[in-house]
Amino acid sequence: MAAPADVIPRRPTLLLVVVLSLLFVLMSFSSRTRYVGETRTLFERTVMTILSPVPRAVHWLGSGASDMYHGYIDMRRAVAENYQLHHQLADLTADNLKLRQSDADLRRLRSLLAYSDQIDLETSMAQVIMLDTSSSFKSVIIDRGSASGVEINDTIVNSSGLIGRVVLTTKDLAKVQLMTDSNCSVGALIERTRRQGVVRGDAATGAQMYDVPSLADVQPGDQVLTAGIDGIFPKGIPIGTVVQAQRGQDLFKRITVRPAVDFGNIEEVIVIHTRKIPPEIVRYAP
């Protein structure tokens, strides 16, 4: 029993000696690992070597997150600016179309007014609100009627030439028979030779000139005007251009006329308030 009692008191002393020895060794080794001008120990350098990737990784992650955040902000800003620019472009395009349309309307109205000034008879302006060229009766509806002084047989023209005549009126509207209608007849003449005839619509988009003798001088390209001999249409209004003139099987030529007016593009028109011949004069016979 005596021997164990002697061993137990020595154990703390031995452990203390071992720890102090190890500390001394580490301190000695640490001091010997310093180089000239070196302020870090081997232990410090080891720790820094092991832990050096950590700040680089943290810096890389921070920079990447910052770049992603700023890139996202820039992308949102670019999307917003692109959206705004698209809207501005659409608005500018609409404004440009309006200006171009206004300019085209102004030129067209100036042309109509200039042509209207050349007509000695009373005239007024009207707007086409309906076009019917698909049925057998070729017609348009204008936004002026009897309340505006429009009467049956008033002549309808634009700056290009003859459109037709008024065949029906209400207080606010009027129906116009187009010269291309097969039931429309216009006293006409060839401008170059003054040869007279009658132009009738072909129920499509053109017209034919009748009652011109086979020996008459008619050439493609000749201009056809109203002759003013039918009691409806004033004299000198362009009807169209001769595109073909052939000798017919009878005593008259077969003449095809291309209208001066594009009937698929009629907007504003001029109403010529023609002087009407009273029926009693037409029917009078001595």
Assess contact for 233 and 223: CB atoms under 8 A.
no
Q: What is the pLDDT of residue 15?
A: 65
Q: What is the pLDDT of residues 107-124, one digit of tens each?
A: 666 666 666 666 677 888
Q: What is the pLDDT of residue 7?
A: 45
Beta strands in the chain (DSSP E): 122-132, 139-142, 155-157, 162-169, 174-178, 185-190, 196-201, 207-210, 223-226, 238-247, 253-259, 268-273
Question: Which residues are CB-neighbours of 252 under 8 A, at least 6 positions away?
Answer: 210, 211, 212, 213, 214
Q: What is the pLDDT of residue 254?
A: 93
Q: What is the pLDDT of residue 11?
A: 55
Q: What is the pLDDT of residue 277?
A: 81
- Give the DSSP letter of residue 199: E
Q: What is the pLDDT of residue 257?
A: 97
Q: What is the pLDDT of residue 131?
A: 87
Q: What is the pLDDT of residue 2?
A: 45
Q: What is the pLDDT of residue 218?
A: 95
- Give the DSSP letter of residue 213: B
What value, to the nearest 5°, has the Cα angle with vertex 78 and ends 73 and 82? 150
Per-block average pLDDT, block size 10, for the chain (286 residues)?
A: 47 64 59 50 58 62 69 79 75 64 61 64 89 80 94 92 94 95 94 95 90 93 93 91 89 94 88 85 79
Q: What is the pLDDT of residues 134-146, one digit of tens each?
A: 677 889 999 999 9
Query: 3-state class of 285 per DSSP?
Result: coil
33, 114, 257 from 213: Cα distances, Å: 130, 36, 16
Q: What is the pLDDT of residue 56?
A: 64
| Residue in 156, 159, 204, 188 with CA at minimum distance from that of residue 255 | 188
Predicted structure pTM score: 0.62
Tokens of 64: 């990447």
